Chain A
Amino acid sequence: MSERRGSTGRLIRDHALPLLVAALFLLPLLWMVTASLRQPGLPPPQGVEWLPASPSPGNYVAVFELLPFGRYLLNSLAVVALAVPLTIVSASLAGFAMAGLERRSRAALVVLSVALLMVPVTATWLTRFLVLRWLGLTDSLLALVLPALAGSSPLFVLIYYWAFRRVSADIFEMAHLDGAGPFTAWRRVGLPAVLPASVAVAVLTFILYWSDFISPLLYLRDQDLYTLPLGLRQLQQLDPTDWPLLMAGAVLLTVPAILFFMLVQHLFLGDGRPERG
């Protein structure tokens, strides 16, 4: 009896409320896509437009005609293509080395990494610019990629550290007995054992560099080097009232990040422990 009485309440809690929440969080994305598909030249809508009345891809074509978005796209891809593999190598090396240390130094490095995570980005803006200028790296795509040499984020080093800690120590010992040095052990035994961590870090790194607006804004002057987020800003400055056009640009910038995230969302949001697999 009580089973039956509770079932409506359970349905609301299990599905109706979550469905409502999901709809709310997807609303900004829906409105972006809807606005981007509006026919160029039409006056703004007079009511809520949930779906475009007569969808047209015109704005997506116009974005590439008004600004060298193709060029910006290539710059963005170049940054990501350099940053992702570099991050994987440097972050996994650091995480691997940390996992092999004795207890005390291990704990010290974890604390250091967490402390680094707590340093606000804004605290380093100005002076990082000065350091980069001193290195002769301003106005170069390398200025954007440089953090990848340090693992991009202490979080990624920590992800690898935890992943390597979970891997049984036996296989590292076996590699050691085989006479393998630390780098060989990292490459042959370590990396293959933490593939899911690598996939997760790769996607997070992609999103980090693909989305980065502040670094290029601070460190790039040459328009030929602009990445997509700066291109979108340029589009806004060109005509801040052409909403369908701006939303088309926003869709172009957003879709790759969302696609990559969806590919690996089960690693973050699932209930299993896929790292073990």
Chain B
Amino acid sequence: MLLPYLVGSLLLVGLPALLSAVLAFTSYDALSPPVFVGFTNFRLLAADPIVGTALLNTLFFIVLAVPLRVLGALGLALLLSRPRRGIGGYRAAVYLPTVIPDMAFALIWLWIFNPLFGPLNMVLGLFGLPGPGWLADADTARFPFVIMAAFQIGEGFVILLAALRGLSGEVFEAGAIDGAGRWAAFRYLTLPLLVPWLVLLTVRDVIVGLGWTFTPSYVMTGGDPYYATTFLPLLVYEEAFDRFRFGMGSALMLVMFLLSVALIGAIYLFFRRRGYVADV
């Protein structure tokens, strides 16, 4: 009964992951057989300034978007955890942007961030504020990606709602007996109990966030202006499917994988410093 699940996962996830680890050390155009080239791909990548730019762009996105998304989900879960009239509607509204298909989501924001006619700059105009060029300007082009990502936080929101539901009741009664104030109760009771969930969400968000940038960058900017929105997944796609260099693409993928390992290690250290690791 487990057969379809295990065989399918092996064929569609395990085998491809293994293959790309091997292909990273070859030159392969998907027509003639792959040729082993050792570390050549990595040397070429290290020498390519665009790869460095893409790496920094990706880091920029992750470092801003992941904390914003996790803290946003936490804040909204706290705000909307207690049952009351209309709560279903509020929660549904928060979740809805997460349901929008990626392609449509990218187009909607491309319109919102349109520097000339887009609704956002029109609203800024109402307040007499100058509208930035957003995606058209290399200095501001990365921010729309962070803002968009902060709107699709439904999954983290639901997970934290469930976690809060699990620990309400007893914990807060205990806190009330101790005479803990609202902030103290949050800081010393709720937050430590939520930490394992926050760690899980942060780790997952780093992994998901790395891939998430593909569709918006492919659809909204194509990596422009001046490579300001060229993120790693877009480069992987271009190497493999535009230039048919599957070896280079796989090597880049390996770089991305190492980046996520490094980031997750950093998250681990961050939480260990604060003495939360026992909970993790």
Chain A interface (Cβ < 8 Å from any Cβ of B): 13-15, 17-19, 21-23, 25-26, 28-29, 31-32, 35, 44-45, 47-49, 90-91, 93-94, 96-98, 109, 116-131, 133, 146-147, 149-151, 154, 157, 182-183, 186, 207, 210-211, 213-214, 218, 229-230, 232-233, 236, 243, 246-247, 249-251, 253-254, 257-258, 261-262, 265-266, 268-271
Partner of A19, one of B8, B90, B117: B90
Q: What would 13 more interface pairs be, CB under 8 Å, given A21-B94, A29-B108?
A: A26-B96, A45-B122, A47-B125, A97-B2, A122-B236, A126-B249, A127-B19, A146-B12, A151-B8, A236-B219, A247-B107, A261-B96, A269-B158
Q: Is A120 in contact with B207, judged by CB distance below 8 angstroms?
A: yes
Q: Which chain A residues border B6 with CB–CB below 8 Å?
A: 94
Q: How far is the CA of A200 from the CA of B113 in the complex (A)?
A: 34
Asked whether, in the complex, the Cβ of A116 is within 8 Å of the Cβ of B117, the reply is: no
- Look across to chain A and name the residue whose beta carbon is closest to the beta carbon of B154: A268
Q: Is the interface of B mostly helix, strand, loop or mixed?
A: helix
A-B contact pairs, 15 of them (CB 8 A): A25-B94, A28-B105, A31-B111, A32-B108, A119-B17, A120-B211, A122-B210, A122-B253, A124-B12, A124-B16, A126-B253, A127-B17, A130-B19, A213-B103, A247-B107
Q: Is A233 a contact of B114 with CB atoms below 8 Å?
A: no
* Complex Cα spacing A116 to B9, Å: 8
Contact between B97 and A29, CB atoms less than 8 A apart: yes
Contacts of A262 in B (CB 8 A): 92
Within 8 Å CB of B88, what residues of A? 265-266, 269-270
Tell me, yes or no, whether B67 is within 8 Å of chain A by CB. Answer: no
- Judging by beta carbons under 8 Å apart, are B93 and A22 in contact? yes
- CB < 8 Å: which of B126, B211, B241 contacts A121? B211
Given the complex, which residues of B lie within 8 Å of A213, measured CB to CB?
101-103, 215
How many angstroms from the CA of A90 to the CA of B9 in the assembled complex? Answer: 12
Does chain A have a CB within 8 A of B177? no
Interface of A is mostly: helix
Nearest CB of B to A80, in Å: 12
* Interfacial chain B residues near A151, Cβ < 8 Å: 4-5, 8
Contact B99 A258 (CB under 8 A): yes
Using Cβ atoms and an 8 Å threshold, which residues of chain A touch B107? 232, 236, 246-247, 249-250
Q: B237 touching A125 by the CB < 8 A rule? A: yes
Q: How large is the interface on B (under 10, 10 to 19, 20 to 34, 35 or more residues)?
A: 35 or more
If A28-B112, A32-B111 touch, does A269 touch B101 (CB 8 Å cutoff)? no
* Docked CA distance A257–B79 (Å): 26
Which of B40-88 touch A at CB < 8 Å? 76, 79-80, 82-84, 86-88
Cα–Cα, bound, A149→B7 (Å): 9
A123 x B108 contact (CB < 8 A): no
CA distance A238 to B95 in the complex (A): 32
Question: Do B101 and A210 have beta carbons less than 8 Å apart?
Answer: yes
Q: Does B276 contact A (CB under 8 A)?
A: no
Q: Which of B2-34 contact A (CB under 8 A)?
A: 2, 4-9, 11-13, 15-17, 19-20, 23, 30
With A and B bound together, what is the CA distance between A10 and B1 in angstroms?
52
Report the bound CA distance from A32 to B100 in whole Å. Answer: 11
B35 CB, nearest partner CB in chain A, Å = 15
Tell me whether A271 and B165 are in contact (CB under 8 A): yes
Q: Looking at the complex, which one of B9, B17, B30, B90 makes contact with A154 (CB distance below 8 Å)? A: B9
Give the distance to chain B from A109, nearest Cβ to Cβ, in Å: 8
Top 8 closest A-B pairs, CB basis?
A: A150-B8, A211-B101, A127-B16, A22-B93, A94-B5, A97-B1, A250-B104, A44-B117
The residue of chain B having its C-beta at the shortest distance from the C-beta of A28 within the complex is: B108
B12 → chain A, closest Cβ, in Å? Answer: 6
- Complex CA gap A79/B241 in Å reads 23
B151 within 8 A of A: yes
User: Which residue in chain A gives the minimum CB-CB distance to B218?
Assistant: A217
Interface centre among B117, B126, B233, by most chain A C-beta atoms within 10 angstroms, is B117
Task: Chain A residues near B256: list those with CB within 8 A.
Answer: 120, 122-123
